[in-house]
Structure 1
């Protein structure tokens, strides 16, 4: 059974917009830094991996999406643009600025070539796994292969296909749901219900993900059988996270009841802080085109409003524990999270502490 190659069992969640500086800081501190690659070209992925390796010899993770490209649907795009037309008018934009192309690319031949060339220690996937031919090539590089599960059924599916570890993603987690065997977001369990059931169902290491943002959450996840934890939102206010001023301000003001699952920004359910767009048109809206085709038409609106300092259409991905995010160096935060987790474990009754 393979374990994480990092010194600490802490994985920094891969987050679009957070590039090499965050992965470097976390990896240097002993955690497993991650690079989100779904919004990058193969050349950019190669460049970012090079930047990480220039600053640290520690292992790191690269993450890819595994969705199926949807067929072109002119009718769906027309309905989507009609819904957005009043906002375009408000922003002073011509609707012709709306793009119809995808905003995220799935793992493919070109990306696999970059993995074979650069050989990162860990390669993780979201929305299942790539086809078996590509997966076999990744496995041949020696990389540890990890993917996300939002149900026990998905965890078993991943184990059957030979992954080395499974991320149990609770419904509290920020960003895109990793779901791939179901579309029913209402059936998604919270982490502390999901985690022990996945641990019982598979023989692989399980990484807990979903609103874990401090030592208490880390210790609790280990008590429920996790072998490691994945943390995203807690890093959002670090200087290395690359978040906009609008996003940072929203995170500072966040409360426990301010996130929703929405498909408005990409076409697939993802958790983020509430915006005007989400209040008026969703958060879930059947008009949104299939993932990731919603993105192209929303991006010009987001940019136009953000240029005026307005976050009405901003993508504010966040987990439910945003209020626990800390404004400190990502490396220092990584070390502090683990120290706090150990303190929490040591304060438990001996019969309980032995589980952590």
Structure 2
């Protein structure tokens, strides 16, 4: 059912990882291989989104999605921000970039981003970080757009369905990157994929997409056994040839082990799972972290420069708990491998039970 609705061959979705990994080449390659590519546009300017969408449409005629971050309410404490800037200046000095002693002007570009996506006639939009309003969902439906949103708890899933979303991503705590929690306390919304998916499947009528810790065909088989209609993978796509992830990020994933990641608010002010490093651990002991998106903006110059210099201690490198299963391959090879492993796994299970 979900394949027919999304017009894809395989019930596999590439997660919309913002910040650079989801290049036009990656999104197109995934869609061309029969899965659903997703542009992570949360941090992009409206003009950048317009340009990348144009590139994607030149590379594929297949469906693809755009993922956006829904706005969140936050408090702006200027004294807290200035204090954090001073704390962060030691990293700027270490990298040889200008120190900062000011409060940044943070713009909310969501409406402009969304308008560009609608104008480009993208037919699938996914959201995270909050719940889309019923009015927003109706607006998108009127434009023929399928709406997907993220839940990290049962309560959030029920709320999303009541608002009219078409599909729900059940994001388990194993997932890399930012948590999609919006109703429950973040520290209490760390439910594993294996526990979360069947509870949400039993509670809602719309299709459920399993996400978190799924890296291969075995994970796909497990997700479908739990009632999921599709799977969403992020970390597995970070190391493919078309990924825009930095080389130090790819290397960290390919050489990782199961205990290398942790959930932190250090880099962005919002809970996210990534590799432990000097900056993460240091900021976690800092006096007071500004909320998202303020902390994200404050640390952006440091993380960008660190990536350029290949300094893995001062950059955020998001990854899930099963990162050690990652491989170096093309997006097409990954999808083909997922499908083959899934079929092999199911066949093996049926043989053993018979």
TM-based fold match above 0.5: yes
Shift of 1:342: 1.3
Match of 1:298 in 2: 299
Q: More displaced, 65-74 or 331-340?
A: 65-74
Choose which of 72, 78, 94 in structure 2 pairs with 1:74.
78
Distance in 2 between the 1:62 and 1:164 partners? Answer: 15
Q: Which residue of 2 aligns with 1:318?
A: 319
Name the structure 2 match of 1:207.
Answer: 209
> Who is 2:283 aligned against?
281
Counterparts in 2 of 1:94 and 1:73: CA distance versus 1, 3 Å = same
| Counterpart-to-counterpart distance in 1, 2:346 and 2:239 | 26
In structure 2, the CA distance between the partners of 1:307 and 1:51, relative to structure 1 (3 Å rule), is closer
Taking structure 2 as the reference length, what is the TM-score of the superposition?
Answer: 0.92
Q: Where does residue 191 of structure 1 map in the other structure?
A: 193
Deviations 1:217-266 (A, max 9, x none): 00000000000000110111111111111111211221111111111111
SS state of the match for residue 82, structure 1? Answer: helix
1:309 and 2:310 aligned:
yes
1:179-202 CA deviation, whole Å, 9 max, x = no partner? 000233244210000000000010
1:3-42 to 2 correspondences below 5 Å: 3-16=5-18, 17=20, 18-42=22-46
CA contact (8 A) 1:147 1:158 kept: yes
Q: In the alignment, is the contact (CA less than 8 A) between 1:98 and 1:297 conserved in 2? A: no
- Superposed structure 1 runs of 4+ greater than 6 Å apart: 350-353
Name the CA distance, whole Å, in 1 between partners of 2:167 and 2:308.
42
The alpha-carbon distance between structure 1 residues 115 and 19, as it changes in their structure 2 partners (threshold 3 A), is: same
Unaligned stretches of 5+ residues in structure 1? none
C-alpha distance in structure 2 between counterparts of 1:154 and 1:113, whole Å: 26
3-state DSSP class of the match of 2:213?
coil
User: How far, CA to CA, are the matches of 2:345 and 2:264 in structure 1?
Assistant: 34
Contact 1:64-1:126 within 8 A present in 2 as well: yes
Correspondence 1:243-262 to 2 at 5 A: 243-262=245-264
Task: Give the SS at the match of 1:68.
Answer: coil
Cα displacement string for residues 312-346 of structure 1 (whole angstroms, at most 9, x for unaligned residues): 11110101111111111101211221121111111
**Aligned position for 1:239:** 241
Q: How far apart, CA to CA, are the structure 2 residues paired with 1:4 and 1:92?
A: 47
SS in 1 for 2:82: helix
Alpha-carbon distance in 2 for matches of 1:97, 1:20? 36
Tell me which of 87, 95, 100 is aligned to 2:99. 95
Distance in 1 (CA, whole Å) between partners of 2:196 and 2:125 is 23
In structure 2, the CA distance between the partners of 1:118 and 1:303, relative to structure 1 (3 Å rule), is closer
The CA distance in 1 between the partners of 2:101 and 2:316, in whole Å, is: 19
1:217 aligned residue: 219
Q: Say if 2:66 is the partner of 1:62.
A: yes
Q: What's the secondary structure of 1:347's corresponding residue?
A: helix
- Cα offset, 1:31, TM superposition: 0.1
Contact 2:181/2:189 (8 A) holds in 1: no
CA deviation after TM superposition for structure 1 residue 98, in Å: 6.6
Does the 8 Å CA contact 1:174/1:210 hold for their aligned counterparts? yes
Q: Specify the alignment match of 1:122 in structure 2.
A: 124
The superposition leaves residues 165-184 of structure 1 with CA deviations (integer Å, 9 ceiling, x where unpaired) of 10000000011100000233
Q: 1:123 to 1:352 in 2, by over 3 A?
A: farther
Between the aligned partners of 2:331 and 2:273, the Cα distance in structure 1 is 22
Deviation at 1:311, TM superposition (A): 1.3
Q: Deviations over 1:256-293 (max 9, x none)?
A: 111111111111001111111122232x8672211111
Matched position secondary structure for 1:241: coil
Contact 2:11/2:35 (CA < 8 Å) preserved in 1? yes
Instruction: Number of aligned residue pairs: give it.
Output: 350
Larger RCO (CA within 8 A; separation ≥ 6): 1
